[in-house]
Structure 1
Amino acid sequence: MLDQLRAMGVFACVVEKSSFSGAARELGITTSAVSQQIRSLEQDMEVTLLHRSTRRLSLTEAGQAFFLSCQEMLAAAERGKIRINELRDELVGDLRIATTPELCATHVVPALSHWMSAHRGLNVFFDANNQINDLIDGRIDIAIKMCSKIEENHNLITIPLAHVDQVLVASPSYLNQTSIPISRPEDLLNHDLIYLNTMKNNHYFSFVHPSSSEEINIDMESRIQTNNVFVAKSLCQQGHGLARILYLDVQKELVNGSLVEVLPDWKLPAFTLCAVIAKKEQQPVKTYRCLDALKQYFSQLPGGRIYQEAS
């Protein structure tokens, strides 16, 4: 089939140049190779396409009909090439972004809102799920997720966006009603914990005191669990206990005072917010422009010990 399509292109060029030698020069092949392509077409279809004479070439009736089909084929191929170039070089077509529901609603949509409005040729799909699918199988262009460490992967490129702390939070009402103060990590064993089970080893806490470098590790049990940050925050605000949440997900509540940080002098391990893309020889421009918008947003988040642009 590919040989026949190639021969159709040669035939169309011969007709347009009105000579075998002219087509050969245009295509960068020999005149004999052009002649062989035309003979092969005629043999395959069992028709004569061209009347040959020493002075000129002319199309047979079959050749005229076939030439129109060849023109349509070449025009379709050119349209396909133009479309591929648009998808590669312009901000058009589909863009699929995978991330968690909390990150998507709280940060990714605000980060890309103006950018999406400015590029209306893009069809953007947000795959908001706690389990991010395989980028290739899911046709995901960009995955945005938290990484405890950045691992090498020959098929993926990982771009750090921001460092994010974990914080332990509770409502003021919960802390005011308890008779057991919390001044050291060991005191947590006497309190109620709300598990956010999207985190690995959610029952295990590893604290470090920055000033003294003291390390304390504890295991905690819980009777209340959830796989959703919004639910965990609601449970905390209703006074059901403490929860370990990424600062990125709880910043607003800490600012408005509906939640407060517990043990602020003790640090839990930090995460890196990352964008992950498949490693390709030709990555569409829209992917890089989207990454630029994300980098700009996360680099402009409020400063301090929590938010720092990742290097």
Structure 2
Amino acid sequence: MDDLKALSTLARVVESGSFRRAALELGVAPQATSKTIRQLETQLGVRLLHRTTRKLSLTDEGARLLAQVRPALSSIRSALSELRAAHQDVGGSLRITAPRSVGQHLVLPLVTRYMDEHPDVTVDLELEDRHTDIVEERIDVGFRMGAGLDRNVVARRLLDIQQWVCAAPAYLERHGRPHGWDELAQHRCTGFRPVTTGRLMPWEYADGDATVHADVAARFATNDVDAEASAVLAGMGIGQIPDYIAAPLIEAGRLERLLPAHGSERIGLYIYYPQRAHLPQRTRRFIDLTVSSLQAAHRP
């Protein structure tokens, strides 16, 4: 028998004055309430209630027991009420992790909007290109490129990201425009060296139905996506830039897209969070905002 449930039922019966009213408050059948009290009496070996057709009253043993457990029951009820209120409340702290570039360009604008809509929430945004175990590090929401997510998280694909070959108009004026992939060897190029491997990433491009990975000599290399984009903007060379950075710069005339038929494979950007049946409202609302905003903004 569940001792806590039994003691709580005893207190509710005494407070309400009848098994029937207690059963209604507890959402169970009156017979179940009566049975719980009988089982508790049998377990303790004492009678706890005097029962008549008109009235219920505590025995001396029942009164002593209830006097001892009532403060604890009251504390438990209060704690549960506070937890329910906290779950329904949007206030509190929200911890988010994302790759640096994704965080700067895609996540930070969402966080700004979210905080405007929910002024009682504080946000801790951690920008890291390394793998983050959100369960171990007590993170509420994470973002990650590509698959390979842990089994103990829920992951939702937000959008596809593609690498575009780009250059600044000033660079093209000085050095000309490549018209085929093989001509890149005659140009200055930039490269990305992820901190997770320390090795220069090969460029990826489509060749018909095949995806090719090619090493491109980089005159300038960096471990930061935004630094590479800034170098390309400055006319330092031709680079492969994520489309979420390149698209607005191309629209503004600050970059030009080259070799559009040779785009990279599309890599999924995922939002992920711990497997919990009842997420706090602050977490759920941020997830909903993210999914609706990013999928709408990047819908084909």
SS of the residue corresponding to residue 269 of structure 2 reads: strand
Verify: 1:71 aligned to 2:70, yes or no.
yes
Shift of 1:32: 4.1
Q: Cα–Cα, structure 1 residues 118 and 71, in superposed 2: closer, same or farther, change >3 Å?
A: farther
Q: Please name the residue that 1:169 is paired with.
A: 166
Give the 5 Å matches for 1:1-311: 9=8, 12-13=11-12, 16=15, 28=33, 30=35, 31-35=37-41, 70-147=69-146, 150-151=147-148, 154-178=151-175, 181-198=177-194, 202-208=200-206, 213=209, 217-301=213-297, 307-308=298-299
For the residues of structure 1 that align with 2:157 and 2:272, how far apart are their CA atoms? 9
Q: Cα–Cα, structure 1 residues 14 and 241, in superposed 2: closer, same or farther, change >3 Å?
A: same
Query: What is the TM-score normalised by the length of structure 1?
Result: 0.73
Q: Please name the residue that 2:26 is paired with.
A: none
Note the residue ranges of structure 2 that are not aligned, 5 or more in a row: 24-29
For the residues of structure 2 that align with 1:9 and 1:82, how far apart are their CA atoms? 15
Per-residue CA distance 1:209-234 (angstroms, 9 max, x = gap): 5xx65765521232532222221122
Q: Cα–Cα, structure 1 residues 83 and 56, in superposed 2: closer, same or farther, change >3 Å?
A: closer
Q: Please name the residue that 1:43 is paired with.
A: none
Q: Is the 8 A contact 1:161 1:275 kept in 2?
A: yes
Between the aligned residues of both structures, percent identity stands at: 20
Query: What is the TM-score normalised by the length of structure 2?
Result: 0.76
Residue correspondences, number:
289
Shift of 1:192: 2.6
Note the residue ranges of structure 1 that are not aligned, 5 or more in a row: 41-49, 302-306
Name the amino acid aligned to 1:263. L
For the residues of structure 2 that align with 1:181 and 1:191, how far apart are their CA atoms? 9
Per-residue CA distance 1:54-100 (angstroms, 9 max, x = gap): 9996798xx67x85663332232122212332344442333222112
Shift of 1:16: 3.8
For the residues of structure 1 that align with 2:110 and 2:56, how far apart are their CA atoms? 65
